[in-house]
Structure 1
């Protein structure tokens, strides 16, 4: 063995897996095959529960579900019967009664059993179809069956369907599908890898990604028997898992080729890449896991399960990359590295020039990057939290055409988001009167029969004047909540609006705690690994600026609609769904820190050799710049593929993640980070005398660093 190979944990791990190559391959092949079987079963076990335990709207919603079996926080589908007049009214009433008897799990509320709601205007009869909780991303097919039956029973009238779920699905039940999206992203990743390696070696990272993804699905299946797993995890495991596994493989394989170019034999090159790049992979994966694991402090099961399930992605990727990848490189690495290409000993000439320019013009570079970040971040001050408003959905789908026809008929936008006020049956008339006079409520009624009273609970349906789906339109919700607080006869208020308000309060009330956990743990990890206090603090702060820019662009892109219409054909959403910013933050904080770790660990390594900050930056960028750019493009392709999903929310999440990766890999890591390191000079390498993992010859608290402005000290 070459004596230059560091004798650390990762090189020892490399020796161990190379000594047991057959066992390693057998284990991962078995997990791969089992994961292929598990992937098909996981989908049926995913949760679509947007619960906010302990919040008033959720508590009321659960009571409604227990007594009525439907409704609550689940917005109703809306069947619209057009052309109703005095002659056809009895026929319509009979048809609704007949269909309601065939679908006892659905609660029908219409102008016949709830006249106070004014659900018949200008010949358009609105029929609320309250159903149970969703069981998939696609809306329930039962409302379509009911609409078809009504169309059959009312051949002379036009029957159509709309509603929040129908509008959100954009008229489709599915997109390309997760498998197809992953394949598309994989093909794009292969093209980038082929460009980077210029050899058949490009296939190895894809093999690692395939094993990582299916192994993660296997563990995810087991996890689903212990706790609920959010539906979004299916997308994240497939596409983010693809990007992360390839990125980590790319880092190690690139270092392996570099060490082969430096003259090491295959075994020593593997061990050297494990000792250096393998250490960076482990650190990167842990930072991603920290960001996701912090989601568990939020009192929202959807986000908690997203965090728990999401943590599996980097953890499994680390395990596969640090065990199976060295074995593959030892078995087929040299044969697949064909046609051979001479490795540039100094790294990428382009990034060498970029590093030289930035370090020579540190202040102008930092100011340029700072101005861009500020411009991008400005729209964040106008961000609204909530769900997409109906106007943001495609205007050409049947659901959207039906909704706009309702608006033309005189219905208010709040027709889509009715609220339910529950009370004892003896108080129903009194509560109905109070609700009807509440500001922002345009209609209220206690439906007759089982539609309004079941199992000792009465339910008053209230229609707000606005679609209560985001923070700009919560006034009617707040008004009803205030009414409930001052009148003991009201048990609770439920509906889409109360649910969104509850979710916003539950999530963002705990955000400071989550941010604190992420910042502290990330600082401890980086400061120990990099042996630098300044670099760790800088990494955390710069990451926050990167995220601010991402959210600003996301707000401008979707909420204001400046690019959503052009790219996706979707008008301004008017708000960003409450769970998207916090999920984007958790994933992006870790993913962008990946690139920070890739760059800083190499700069630290170069500094340990040269003792020159400027030389370390230039050499570090020349070695990692192309790698980070390629890795970012691969992840971006994964998110672009994810954006083909049928739901607007998934598209918004994918857009935020994709934009964040590009902003971070270019402006932040490509310009701001090297400029800051250059300006800090020797301060970058200061650590207290008591700091763990501190080298004996490093600058300590006992010797003051020269002023930052001293160029010689850099």
Structure 2
């Protein structure tokens, strides 16, 4: 393959250029076309409740909450008149299915601020998540700002999600601008040559652009989350640089060893190219584990991750060899490191015992103390994860300067209940007219629950087990529209929907006997059901990762022990990451270092799953790089200790450079104003650094020294199977 590509180098590069010319305009607007939601578990009770609320009742939790602040009192004559007029106008806006306010709901005290100067207007929009977002983008600018005696600001679930999306796009551009020059500088330090340093960066750009095209095509078939673009950029750039670094380094070694350009490319592809493809397969399979989760938010990360891994690998083994064939020995041109200019064989493989060889030998002289010490440190760093609490992203993941965040803070501080995020209980088989007694009795029972401040139903409003307001014109919103049947109830509480109390209240509401089948929905219920779904599917995801790792590493090495070792060590390398996730981002330590953020006391529920799959894949990436050289040396010498030491020496500098490059790309996300993106960047960067240093530098040589020749053992049936279908050269 290397020879074929070298001979047809011009054709390959021209085809790549032509594809790039088409891809850039096609994929450039991908973010504007992708979906913003996808965090709901489809088919869950809460999802079915929300579907009925949308289709049968055109009601439910408000998408937008407008805070109308008056100069004096919201009960002043001019304020009351304008407030009612504004509510009526919003109710008639296209895409608005319901608008209710302090004034339209009979001056309900729950909708008035403690100081009496602010009141709420709540708006429910039509359609699915994408349609709701489009309606909100049109409605919000017509309301925000000065409106008669009021100054209006917007918050609510949809306003928050829209600001998160906008912030995400801005932070992605900022991260790219920050990481690109840093990556180029590091590549220059690694290679010394401007030309050699530019080649991995070029492949990274190709991978990212190509993945945007894949996401655009996928969006024509399935829903794809807009937030997958962030992981696409980071992974694409990082992995493409990793793979290209590995190939360019091997190519320079072969040239320095005396080979001509075309034979050097052929040997590079036979060794490093094969390793890159195998490594990409292991990373892609780790990411594919996210496909078992039904939420398309997580599935989108799998789509984009697999696409960018495949493109990074293909760019490295197809485009890069053709480019190297054109460059030839000029790959070392424009040397900017003066101390390397005297050496004509700067890429030559040295047989001198360097730092990594000496480190490996020192570890293997006392493997048990080293292994126990590092393992104890990693486990200790992971202990905070035992205190993890899960929630969903709300306004507090936004910067403090965000309008939606500031509005939500006003709701917390000035209003006694969570009017913008009630629990919705749907009774699809009850008629609010003929079954009014059953509805009233059920609403009365729900109003007695702890933390419940009010229950609104077709039969009136209830508090503490008694009716506090009779049915009114606005109560008609609890009846089905058109020819449908059924009713629903709004349960308002004084708890944050994503808090432990909020989730406990969902369970309590579901435990109250209902007069007919009931479905409990709303933000808190969606979180409870998503948490349960993730818990149910997680063993399957872990099983996919474990099985694919065991199989692929067995095919790669022929060993039964090395794949098991890889899983155990990779899990150990993640303990520090997951501990830091809780200690830093849940509990709020080191904000001076990672950048300020709002401490919510919980971690976004999707983040650990995403981080585990991505970090495990990256760890396997470095595992394969190291094992390829260890295996090569072992087959040459048959000496396990020597093979480990020289394998680490050959890859130590390379893996460290790759880890620094990937960590640089990921750490750029620490500049994000969004807490989940900041967490993802810092957490994954930490995982990469720990894996490339403590695990690859100490635990791997210690373990392989303790195992000795058993590293390469397999039962006879498996050994025969490996000879037939294994991936030996």
Q: Same fold (TM over 0.5)?
A: yes
Shift of 1:39: 1.4
From 74, 77, 97, the equivalent of 1:84 is: 74
Residues 557 and 268 of structure 1: is their aligned pair in 2 closer, same or farther, counting only changes over 3 Å?
Answer: same
Contact in 2 for aligned 1:347/1:619 (Cα 8 Å): no
Shift of 1:382: 1.0
- Tell me the TM-score normalized by structure 2: 0.86
Residues 647 and 431 of structure 1: is their aligned pair in 2 closer, same or farther, counting only changes over 3 Å?
Answer: farther
Structure 2 gap ranges (5+): 336-340, 459-473
1:118 aligned partner: 110
2-structure distance, mates of 1:35, 1:136: 28
* Matched position secondary structure for 2:520: strand
2:90 aligned partner: 99
Contact in 2 for aligned 1:297/1:514 (Cα 8 Å): yes
From 27, 36, 50, the equivalent of 1:39 is: 27
1-structure distance, mates of 2:172, 2:164: 18
Residues 470 and 407 of structure 1: is their aligned pair in 2 closer, same or farther, counting only changes over 3 Å?
Answer: closer
From 308, 311, 314, the equivalent of 2:309 is: 314
Q: How does 1:194-213 map to 2 (within 5 A)?
A: 194-200=188-194, 201-213=196-208
Shift of 1:592: 1.2
From 48, 52, 55, the equivalent of 1:66 is: 55
From 248, 265, 268, the equivalent of 1:270 is: 265
Q: How does 1:125-274 map to 2 (within 5 A)?
A: 125-132=119-126, 133-135=128-130, 140-142=136-138, 144-148=140-144, 151-153=146-148, 155=149, 157-164=150-157, 166=159, 173-174=166-167, 175-176=169-170, 178-200=172-194, 201-274=196-269
1:289 aligned partner: 284
Of 285-294 and 339-348, deviating more is: 339-348
Shift of 1:142: 4.7
- Tell me the TM-score normalized by structure 1: 0.88
Contact in 2 for aligned 1:182/1:641 (Cα 8 Å): yes
**Is residue 2:322 matched to residue 1:327?**
yes
Contact in 1 for aligned 2:422/2:493 (Cα 8 Å): yes
**Is residue 2:416 matched to residue 1:411?**
yes
2-structure distance, mates of 1:574, 1:646: 18
Contact in 1 for aligned 2:273/2:317 (Cα 8 Å): yes
Shift of 1:416: 4.6
2-structure distance, mates of 1:261, 1:539: 33
Residues 80 and 399 of structure 1: is their aligned pair in 2 closer, same or farther, counting only changes over 3 Å?
Answer: farther
1:337 aligned partner: 332
From 363, 367, 391, the equivalent of 1:362 is: 367
Residues 391 and 230 of structure 1: is their aligned pair in 2 closer, same or farther, counting only changes over 3 Å?
Answer: closer
Q: What is the CA deviation profile of residues 592-641 of structure 1, one whole-angstrom value per residue up to 9, with x for unaligned ones? A: 11001111111111111222222112211111111111111111122123
Contact in 2 for aligned 1:168/1:648 (Cα 8 Å): no
Q: How does 1:422-461 map to 2 (within 5 A)?
A: 422-423=426-427, 424-426=431-433, 427=436, 429-446=440-457, 448=474, 451-455=477-481, 456=484, 458-461=487-490
2:704 aligned partner: 677
* Matched position secondary structure for 2:391: coil
Contact in 2 for aligned 1:385/1:578 (Cα 8 Å): yes
1:6 aligned partner: none
From 44, 55, 78, the equivalent of 1:55 is: 44
CA RMSD of aligned residues (A): 2.9
Contact in 2 for aligned 1:603/1:616 (Cα 8 Å): yes
Contact in 2 for aligned 1:347/1:622 (Cα 8 Å): no
1-structure distance, mates of 2:24, 2:161: 31
Q: What is the CA deviation profile of residues 230-268 of structure 1, one whole-angstrom value per residue up to 9, with x for unaligned ones? A: 222222222211111110000111111122222222222
Residues 265 and 616 of structure 1: is their aligned pair in 2 closer, same or farther, counting only changes over 3 Å?
Answer: same
2:355 aligned partner: 350
Q: What is the CA deviation profile of residues 555-582 of structure 1, one whole-angstrom value per residue up to 9, with x for unaligned ones? A: 1111111134653311323211111111
Of 77-86 and 304-313, deviating more is: 77-86
